[in-house]
Amino acid sequence: MAGRSGRPFLTPCGDVRRFGASGAPGAERGELSGPDPEGTPRRPRGDTVTVPHHAHRTIPHAPGLIPVLGHAPALLRDPLGFIGALGRVGGVVRVRLGPRTVCVVTDPALVHTLLVGLAHDCPPQGVRDTLRAAFTAERVASCVPVVEEVTRERVGRWRHGHVIDVAREMNHLALEIVTRALFGARLRADSALAFHRALPDLVRGQLVRSLYPHRALARLPLPVNRGYDAALAVLDRVVDQTLARGGQSNGDGGGDGDGERTLLALLRATPDPATGSPLDEAAVRSEAITMFGAGTEPVATTLTWLFHELLRHPRVCARLMAELDGLPRAAPDGSGDGLTLDALGRLPYTARVLREVTRLHAPHAFLLRTAARDVDLGPYRVPAGTGLLYSLTAPHRDPAHHRDPLRFDPDRWLADRPGGAAAGPHAFLPFGVGEHRCVGETFAWAELAVVAATVLRAWQPLPVAGSHAREVVSGTVQAQGLSMALAARTPGGPAATEAAEATP
């Protein structure tokens, strides 16, 4: 999803990108790009990007073509099932979306190749370096107390015996964390409410618009387009308010202070790669929109799936709470020792639980890139201009890499377990790989761990009869319909013990 500046909304790693020579900065000058993070030799950007292969194979067509509509109904109806089934057809499969042809990359090794060997579509390096600088270990460590404080405030409004809408609570929490931990600002309550009301239209619009066979369809007065445009206007207002209030002190504007350490301050101090002058406010705003998207919907979705799995597996929940109870604990007024990045790093079971949640429930149903030139993807020749669609869920649920892949099993990530920790580089890509690996990965893992620790040391999650999460694809793979009852707990109290004994 893009803001007014055209930047993607839901992920800073890039939902829709062009790869190949013409999509790379400096391509017209034939500059060399040097080795990428995975060690792949750099190529002249003016050349066609190729991958070693034996002979070109014909890209097979997906079955089930419907006249005029192509495969669009099947893809929109069940994206994960449709893409997963194509793996039996070929490593790269042609599908039709109306008059448009798109190639779906189903082979996990070729998905890895697409993200690494064909990754010459980076944003301006100076800006990306700044984003990386915002997520160094030192800066992430400084954000941990803020994330804990925001989470503690949120869950402090919960009451024993109450039932909460998990997705709603996690969406509100993720937005508060982004605005305060990354931008040093506090949103007004009405702005936060408007953002959450607009979010479904934002993510739905991204999904549908990414599949339009022609860009002109985005300008038609269709309900999905009108909803998307209206929701995007809300996002613009929220970002503008954040930029205006970011880094202010509590007394001046409701921010969290320390304005020189916020992402906003870093962006405003970044030189434009083209001119050497500081980024203008339009560029700063563009990057802010990207980070807003990446820090809200995908994070909230992952947290919702976490509680879904903990409700389904009470023994896992009890074991997780037992480990988290050993963490430092701040006083109710915030004084004393709180969570630290070092302490979070000493939680092996928590790390395995979060890893398993992101494996089984990758937040994005699919991502899309476009070939700027003819490229070779394994044995397949992909013509210039072709959209390349791929899903991170497919390799995460591939039985060739993960034994019993639909089973939630945190211990599959133990080093001595086959098909888990040693599953290979193609088997687990929750934050992408290569040059487009998510710059906020370290922050995201820390955020998930802090939220889990803060919630589970205060509350025992309990299932609600008749409530279960439904896997609904709307931009992200959402867990809709999940309710959770709350029981106040103390560290090591009876609630944890009862949960451990609830299921054999």
Annotation: binding site for heme: 438
Give CA–CA dist 475/211, Å, rounded: 11
Residue type, 323: E
Report the candidate in 58, 57, 54, 49 with the shortest Cα–Cα distance to residue 21. Answer: 49
- Contact (Cβ atoms closer than 8 angstroms) between residue 364 and residue 15: yes
Task: Please say whether the dihedral angle defined by the alpha carbons of residues 372, 373, 376 and 381, taken in this order, is positive or negative.
Answer: positive
Phi, psi angle pair for 471, to nearest 5°: -80, 105
388 is written with which tokens?
């390349």
What torsion do the CA atoms of 177, 182, 184, 188 make, to the nearest 10 degrees?
-40
Report the candidate in 216, 14, 121 with the shortest Cα–Cα distance to residue 2. Answer: 14
- Contact (Cβ atoms closer than 8 angstroms) between residue 29 and residue 231: no
Q: Give the CA radius of gyration of the chain.
A: 23
- Contact (Cβ atoms closer than 8 angstroms) between residue 44 and residue 32: yes
Give the list of residues 6+ apart from residue 379 with CB closer than 8 angstroms, or none: 53, 54, 55, 56, 57, 91
- Contact (Cβ atoms closer than 8 angstroms) between residue 287 and residue 127: yes
187 is written with which tokens?
């949103």
Task: Please say whether the dihedral angle defined by the alpha carbons of residues 309, 362, 476 and 159, taken in this order, is positive or negative.
Answer: positive
- Contact (Cβ atoms closer than 8 angstroms) between residue 12 and residue 438: yes
Which parts are annotated binding residues? Answer: 438
Residue 459 has what DSSP assignment? E
Give CA–CA dist 489/209, Å, rounded: 46
Give CA–CA dist 470/481, Å, rounded: 6
Give CA–CA dist 473/81, Å, rounded: 11
Phi, psi angle pair for 329, to nearest 5°: -130, 120
Residue 214 has what DSSP assignment? S
**Three-state secondary structure call for residue 483:** strand
DSSP 66-109: BTTTBTHHHHHH-HHHHHHHHTTT-SEEEEEETTEEEEEE--HH
